[in-house]
């Protein structure tokens, strides 16, 4: 069964998601676009030391991979995947400005109805609930409009901040994937975390609001 609409879009794409208010500001998800090149490049180059320990190893050196001229091919590749219904590549906006990215990938329908989710936030915006808010928006969107049943993520055990974010939105640890991914130049163990719609019982954002970690806008 195909979930693609005649225009090539899939449910929930390409509309923005949110906003909600967290301590750092108003958080919203919106599709990546070609004119993000300068912002994306500036933040990724500035945050190299902050991001590289957690990101998959690539052949090209970091600065070459994150130059302004690298963005058009990255952006058009993920947007093409989005049009095919396999991905949701978002920018996390904080008070209307580029603050990071949240990506939903390997979107699978049929009897599996699952996807993975990942994110990064600019170092100057961390500690203010941005990742938690963005993740909650993304999860509600996937369980709601996309009608997915299971979301999963992988995280290095050493990534304390990200493990905290995943726990705050309700992800459960399911096991340790030994030497799972080549990250920062070596095969690294990763924790697999999962969440199914039955565990959400309503809305992830509503739970954050109830816990005093976010406000409706």
| Residue nearer to ligand ACO on the CB measure, 83 or 163 | 163
| Residue nearer to ligand ACO on the CB measure, 82 or 208 | 208
| Residue nearer to ligand ACO on the CB measure, 11 or 129 | 129
Distance CA 162, CA 172 (A): 13
What CA–CA distances, in Å, run from 210 to 161, 201, 203? 22, 13, 11
- Cβ atoms of 70 and 80 closer than 8 Å: no
| Residue nearer to ligand ACO on the CB measure, 13 or 119 | 119
- Smallest gap, in angstroms, from Cβ of residue 27 to ligand ACO? 9
Which residue ranges make up the site for ligand ACO (CB under 6 A)? 50-51, 54, 118-121, 126-132, 153, 155, 159-162, 164-165
Sequence-separated (6 or more) residues with CB below 8 Å from residue 206: none
- Smallest gap, in angstroms, from Cβ of residue 95 to ligand ACO? 14
- Smallest gap, in angstroms, from Cβ of residue 115 to ligand ACO? 12
b/e sequence 27-59, b meaning 16+ C-beta within 10 Å? bbbbbbeeebbebbbebbeebeebbeebbeeee
- Smallest gap, in angstroms, from Cβ of residue 1 to ligand ACO? 29
């Amino acid at each position: 069964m195909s979930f693609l609409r005649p225009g090539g879009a899939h449910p929930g794409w390409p509309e923005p998601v949110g906003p909600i208010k967290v301590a750092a500001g108003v958080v919203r998800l919106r599709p990546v676009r070609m004119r993000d090149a300068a912002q994306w490049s500036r933040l990724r180059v500035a945050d190299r030391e902050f991001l590289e320990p957690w990101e998959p190893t690539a052949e090209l050196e970091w600065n070459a991979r994150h130059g302004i001229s690298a963005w058009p091919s990255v952006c058009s590749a993920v947007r093409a995947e989005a049009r095919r219904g396999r991905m949701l590549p978002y920018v996390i906006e904080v008070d209307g400005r580029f603050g990071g990215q949240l990506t939903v990938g390997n979107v699978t329908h049929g009897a599996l109805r699952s996807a993975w989710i990942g994110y990064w936030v600019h170092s100057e915006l961390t500690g203010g609930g941005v990742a938690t808010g963005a993740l909650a928006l993304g999860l509600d969107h996937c369980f709601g409009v996309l009608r997915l049943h299971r979301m999963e993520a992988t995280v290095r055990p050493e990534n304390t901040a990200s493990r905290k974010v995943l726990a705050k939105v309700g992800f459960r640890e399911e096991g340790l994937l030994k030497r799972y991914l080549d990250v920062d130049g070596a095969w690294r163990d990763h924790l697999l975390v999962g969440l199914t719609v039955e565990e959400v019982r309503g809305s992830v954002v509503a739970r954050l609001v109830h816990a005093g970690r976010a406000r409706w806008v």
